[in-house]
Amino acid sequence: MSETSTIAPTAETRVQVPLAERSYEIRIRGGLLRDVGRRLSDLGFSGKVAVVTDQTIARLYEPIVTKSLKASGFETSTIIVPVGERVKTLRWVSVILDKLARARFERGSVLVALGGGVIGDLAGFAAAVFVRGIPFVQVPTTLVAQVDSSVGGKTGVNHPVGKNLIGSFHQPRLVLIDPETLHTLPRRELIAGLAEVIKYGMIADAELFSYLERQMGALLRMEAGPVTHIITRSCQIKASVVAEDERESDRRRILNYGHTVGHALESLGKYRSLIHGEAVAIGMVQEADLSCHVGICSKEVVARQGELVRQAGLPDALPPMTFSELWGAMQHDKKVAQGRPYCVMPERIGQVVVAPLERSEFKQWFASRASRK
C-alpha cells in the first residue's frame, strides 16, 4: 500500500480475532456502512435488528445503515441516546433494555452498535445482559473505536466512583470499520484517537511507532492509505493481545498503558474536561516519565514519545492537582489489587512491563516533577 495515497483503498482488509467459538472478523474498507445488512445476512442473522446510536450519528449515518439492513430483509428499530460519556450509565442501559423488551427482542435478535466507544461500550453491555446475551455487531465511527474499543469485547458503563466499574466481557460477532466515517469526525476526536495508536507503538510495535513519526502529517491530513494502515495495524495488535488473554488476567493489561493515570484524570474531571484519548496521552507521557524516574526506561524513550504526542497535537501535561487527589482517584480504578494500582511502564519503544505501584515511590516521582519545572 502506498504510504501517501489520497485515493480511498478499495481492497477490503480482514483481521481475525481468534477466540475459539467466540472468534470473529474485523473488516476494514471505505463504504462498508452501505453493506451492513448483507454482512449480517452472510453471518446467518435474520429478523429483528436494533441499531443503537447517538444523536449525532443518527443524523449522519443511521439512515444509511438502516436502509442497508432493510434491503437485506431485516426488521429494524433504532434506539437513539444523547451524545457523550454521560450516557455510559446504568440508567441508559435500562432505557435500551426497556426498548428491546417492548419490541419483543429474543435471543436470536441482533444489536448493532453504531458510533464511538461510548456507544460500543453501552450498547455492548446491553447486548451482554439482555436475555443473558444477544449477538451484537460493532460499527465504529470514531478513530478510538476503530482502533481500540470495538475490538476485544470489553463492554460496560461508568459509576460515579470510577470509570467502567460495571461491565462484562461480551465479544461482538463482527466488526465493520468504514474509515470514510472519520471525515465527519471533529478534529479533536480524531487527534484523541491517535493517542491509542501511539499506545500500540509503545507497547508492541516499534515499527508502527516509527511509521507514526514519519507519517503524522499525512495522518493529520486524513490521507486514506496511512489512515487505513494504522487502523489495520492497531486491530492486528489488539486482536493478538486479546487472543492471548481475553479476560485480562495477564498480557492484556499492557493495553492499559497510559490508563492508570488517564482514567484518574477522566474521573477527576468528571468526564467533562478531557476526552478519553487526551487523558490517555497525558497518562502515557506521565507513566513514561515515572518509568524513567524508577530506572526502567531511558530519557530518550520519554523524549521520543513526548515529541510524537506533541506532533499529533495531543496534550501532555498533568492538569494542576495534588498528589493526594491523583493517588486517591487512582485507587478507584479496576486495576487496583490490595490498594496498589498497577502501572504499565515502557522499557523501550515497542516493549513494556507491568508493575505494581508503591505509594511512596509514586509520591517521590510526583514531587520530583515539581523540582524539575
* Interacting residues with ligand GLY (CB under 6 A): 148, 152, 154, 248, 252, 255-256
Q: Which stretch binds ligand NAD (CB under 6 A): 32-40, 181-189, 204-212, 224-232?
A: 181-189
Minimal distance, residue 189 CB to ligand NAD, in Å: 5
For residues 164 and 251, is the Cβ–Cβ distance under 8 A? Answer: no
Query: How many other β-carbons are positioned within 10 Å of the β-carbon of residue 20?
Result: 7
Q: Which three cell numbers stand for residue 367?
A: 514531587
Question: Among ligand NAD, ligand GLY, none, what does residue 223 contact (CB within 5–8 Å per kind)?
Answer: none
Q: Which residue lies nearer to ligand GLY by CB, 37 or 350? A: 350
Q: Which of 28, 79, 93, 119 binds ligand NAD (CB under 6 A)?
A: 119
Residue tagged active-site, from 173, 238, 293, 304? 238
Nearest to 291 by CA among 306, 279, 277, 313: 306
Please classify residue 54 by burial: count the beta carbons closer than 10 Å to its beta carbon, then call 0-12 exposed, 13-18 middle and 19+ buried: buried
Q: Which of 27, 276, 293, 304 binds ligand NAD (CB under 6 A)?
A: 276
Is 293 catalytic? The answer is: no
- Residues whose CB is less than 8 angstroms from the CB of residue 239 and which lie 6 or more positions away in sequence, other chains included: 15, 16, 17, 18, 26, 151
Is 196 catalytic? The answer is: yes
Minimal distance, residue 151 CB to ligand GLY, in Å: 7
Question: Among ligand NAD, ligand GLY, none, what does residue 141 contact (CB within 5–8 Å per kind)?
Answer: ligand NAD
- Residues whose CB is less than 8 angstroms from the CB of residue 263 and which lie 6 or more positions away in sequence, other chains included: 162, 163, 164, 279, 283, 329, 330, 333
The verdict on 261 binding ligand NAD (CB under 6 A) reads no
The verdict on 56 binding ligand NAD (CB under 6 A) reads yes
Q: Which stretch binds ligand NAD (CB under 6 A): 101-109, 143-151, 170-178, 299-307?
A: 143-151
Query: Total binding residues for ligand NAD by CB under 6 A?
Result: 30
DSSP strand pairing (162-169 vs 351-356): unpaired
The verdict on 141 binding ligand NAD (CB under 6 A) reads yes
Is 263 catalytic? The answer is: yes
CA distances from 101 to 50, 98, 113, 130, 294 (A): 11, 5, 17, 8, 53
Is 248 catalytic? The answer is: yes
Q: Which residue lies nearer to ligand GLY by CB, 54 or 248? A: 248
Q: Which value, to the nearest 10 degrees, does the dihedral of the CA atoms of residues 23, 132, 276, 212 take?
A: 0
CA 282 to chain centre: 16
**Rounded Cα–Cα distance for residues 136 and 92 (Å):** 17
Q: Supply the residues annotated as catalytic.
A: 132, 154, 196, 238, 248, 252, 256, 259, 263, 276
Footprint on this chain of ligand NAD (rule: CB under 6 A):
54, 56-57, 60, 83-85, 88, 115-119, 121, 141-142, 144-145, 148-149, 152, 154, 164, 181, 184-185, 189, 192, 276-277
